[in-house]
Chains A and B, each alone.
Chain A
């Protein structure tokens, strides 16, 4: 049995521990904001936070989440306030189809912990999620805006 928390709530899992976390979140916990894109950790649509770090949940087996605290897009906002990255995404009107954006937002929320004031080069070198609509121009603007919001919150 695997015990862990998702968005602050305790979960236990008794099934096939090879199953990726992505499919637990979607098929069992019905947290469908986390998306399936490639299954091999190349696109990032399934990005969640495990212990505060961005991880591609399609490639994390259930056996590896014992004792972990997992945050999904549904749990990113706190105290009924959108996370700075979510607000920046709204204001910059980043999304087109929207399918990859949960993963983008989760990846950037984690990235900004390591790069609180990122340069474009930092973004280019560290952010590898795929957006098939290629919303990258606005995404870049939103990342800088989110960084500024987070600075204000400190």
Chain B
């Protein structure tokens, strides 16, 4: 968006002595061209509010799920505004939607987000908010300077600002004392952005703003909302993959004390050929969770399991065999002539990697509160995408329009892509509409795993050929999977002269985004493959990669809003991680070191892992160094937190996670059978690093995960010669050591 266009959305208003620089505080902007916004002074609705008592509140537009966005986004505004970041407060903006012009990513949606980005996912928030938030801060600072210039009776050019004060000679005026005047001021000059060299907040370390509430238990999540007269629903959903309710008997359930209503929840959409969004089930609505849960246990339901009753993990593996045997793949990317180059290669390798379905295990299970009233709807939702939450909600409430919906997007107890879907919100709306009272729908952990939208199970077939100098001259990547996805441009595609990428897929379990979608498993396959090729070539795995990246500068990369993939950025993160980890040093017996690098959503990441594998196969992760280059870093403390979490998330998935299916249903639905890593699996030495450069900023949430898994697997190979070609690692090492 052009700069002046962006500024058009930064409306100014004075309310009770406050300077408000705001996107419009209408829940809904009526159309694209409406430039006159009323109601700017009600509730928060504020992008930025400077009160005459000196307190400053910066609103953030993107829902918080733990990636630190509620701290990082306000830092950008505060930088240009020039205030003391430790003193400012932050608050979530209400969602702002407008009628869709059909150009949104969600083409069937009636409404789209208005002017400012309001989604958390795809590591997009920093990338897409950065320019606008700088403008907002700079504009507010300019208005304050203008007001101060009137007060002092001197031109703006003789004034400067420092941490919430305008300075003139030896005098100063606080922003708060200028706020009211600034709000009624018109700018007669273009606000100037800071030179990034002068940044005082961007690039510093700031603690998360919500932590004082979190450590005292005061932070509210959707599950913590209690509306007057509210009932609680627990829903029996069909446990079989895309099955439905055949019949049910609720006589006993209705006898449970506290149970008030039992209603059918019909599958959404009702067309069973379309992908399931809300599961078919029976809702038990009661005075509290415990009564609802007991009521659900007393329900007798006959399910129709016919659609996938034959499915288990082994069946899917056989299905992959059959699919690959057909050879009917979709070519996703091709350059050079793979077949010819492979035929003529000096050394060849063909390997297959398998990985299972992963569940999200969001820390906070799905939960939503909705009150459907006569002329309005109040909703408390966990949603990564404001526009999706509202569009989906209005669809299940015929007779209500968007203007009648008041939705609060709560802080989320993790999301990882699962809260892209708002199925629990729709269930709560349907329950509330049916019983005429506010209803909270709570999912148990078993519900959460069983009814998840999973990360797809897949098989990755790779073939590669080396020339006499030990360079990869030909590679072919076939991704056989349970969702139509392919990491088209993932390294090393562009660095190999003869390359063909293909996919072939089927659909079984419901699929959703899972931290670094597609890249999370492509990273494992591709970076394990590169490691195997390095060993085949008899070369050091780190140098082998660096040599590949040196081949070209500015490789075209038409994805993720990037023009080019820059080889030297890859080399930088690889060398930083390798140096810190002591790559090449002599290691004790049984130890090994592995490296991997990957580009995810525009961020360059490299991971080096040192492990120890004992004679009985016991695996210990000794040391980990994870380095990410996301361009300009907003909050270095928060950025490192995402590297730590993303890397350990990858280790956890690699070590033990696997969705088990039997008889057409997921059977390991709680934490006693779905294995998640705890503090005991966390390496005692862990370094997270972010680079320091001036490239355009990208996000941080996902970059560190894709290289973490192959770095671990490559380290295991270095330690004991066992190559992990199937996830999870589980007990593979101890089994192999016994042989």
Contact = CB atoms under 8 A, between A and B. Distances in A.
Nearest to A19: B290
B66 A39 contact: no
A27 B215 contact: no
A32 interface: yes
B211 interface: yes
Given A96-B645, A97-B364, A34 B217 contact: yes
Contact of B363 (A73, A90, A132, A136): A132
Contacts of B364: 35, 37, 97, 99
A111 to B, nearest CB: 11
A66 B39 CA distance: 54
B363 to A, nearest CB: 4
Given A37-B445, A74-B216, A98 B210 contact: yes
A49 B210 CA distance: 24
B652 interface: yes
A114 interface: no
Contact of B649 (A31, A37, A45, A134): A134
Main secondary structure of the interface of A (DSSP, over half): loop
A3 interface: no
Nearest to B638: A93
A49 to B, nearest CB: 13
B362 interface: yes
Given A27-B290, A45-B363, A129-B678, A72 B649 contact: no
A45 B220 CA distance: 14
A40 B669 CA distance: 12
A27 B670 contact: no
Contacts of B192: none
Contacts of A32: 217, 220, 223-224
B671 A42 contact: yes
Nearest to A33: B217
B221 interface: yes
Given A93-B211, A138-B644, A39 B226 contact: no
Contacts of A95: 208, 210-211, 214-215
Contact of A39 (B445, B648, B684): B445
A136 to B, nearest CB: 4
Nearest to B67: A96
A148 interface: no
Interface string B662-693: 00000000111000111110101010100000
A45 B290 CA distance: 18
A94 B208 CA distance: 9
B147 interface: no
A39 B223 CA distance: 14
A23 B210 contact: no
Nearest to B68: A96
B672 A40 contact: yes
- Size bracket, chain B contacts: 35 or more
Contacts of A94: 211
B611 interface: no
Contacts of A39: 444-446, 670
B65 interface: yes
B329 interface: no
A20 to B, nearest CB: 7
B361 interface: yes
B215 A101 contact: yes
Contacts of B413: 35, 97-100, 132
Contact of B215 (A34, A89, A136): A89
A73 B216 contact: yes
Interface string B183-223: 00000000000000000000000011011111111111101
Nearest to A31: B217
B596 to A, nearest CB: 18
A131 interface: yes
A40 B671 contact: yes
Contacts of A125: 680
A137 to B, nearest CB: 5
A51 B86 CA distance: 38
B165 interface: no
A16 interface: yes
Contacts of B645: 96, 133-135
A132 B672 contact: no
A131 B362 CA distance: 10
A97 B218 contact: no
B23 interface: no
Interface string A25-69: 011101111111111101101000000000000000000000000
A123 interface: yes
B207 A101 contact: no
Given A40-B670, A97-B413, A132-B361, A127 B678 contact: yes
Interface in B431-462: 442, 444-446
A140 B215 contact: no
Please indicate which of the listed interface residues B65, B364, B649 has the most CB atoms of chain A within 10 Å of its own CB. Answer: B364
A30 B218 CA distance: 11
Contacts of A99: 66, 221, 363-364, 413-414
B216 A27 contact: no
Contacts of A100: 363, 413
Interface string A91-130: 0011111111110010000000000000010011101111
B363 A131 contact: yes
B641 interface: yes
Residue among A42, A98, A120, A139 with the highest chain B CB neighbour number at 10 A: A98
Contact of B214 (A28, A76, A98): A98
Interface in A1-32: 16, 19-20, 23, 26-28, 30-32
B412 interface: yes
20 contacts: A16-B294, A20-B290, A27-B288, A32-B220, A35-B223, A37-B364, A42-B670, A73-B217, A93-B641, A95-B214, A97-B412, A98-B413, A127-B680, A129-B678, A130-B676, A131-B679, A132-B362, A134-B677, A134-B682, A139-B679
Given A132-B416, A133-B645, 15 more contacts: A19-B290, A26-B289, A37-B363, A39-B446, A86-B215, A97-B363, A97-B364, A97-B411, A98-B214, A99-B66, A124-B680, A130-B363, A132-B362, A132-B414, A140-B684
Instruction: Enumerate the 8 nearest inter-chain pairs by beta-carbon distance, A residue then B residue, closest first.
Output: A33-B217, A99-B413, A97-B66, A73-B217, A134-B648, A98-B214, A42-B671, A32-B224
Interface of B: 64-68, 207-208, 210-221, 223-224, 226, 232, 257, 288-291, 294, 361-365, 411-416, 442, 444-446, 637-638, 641-642, 644-645, 648-649, 652, 670-672, 676-680, 682, 684, 686, 688
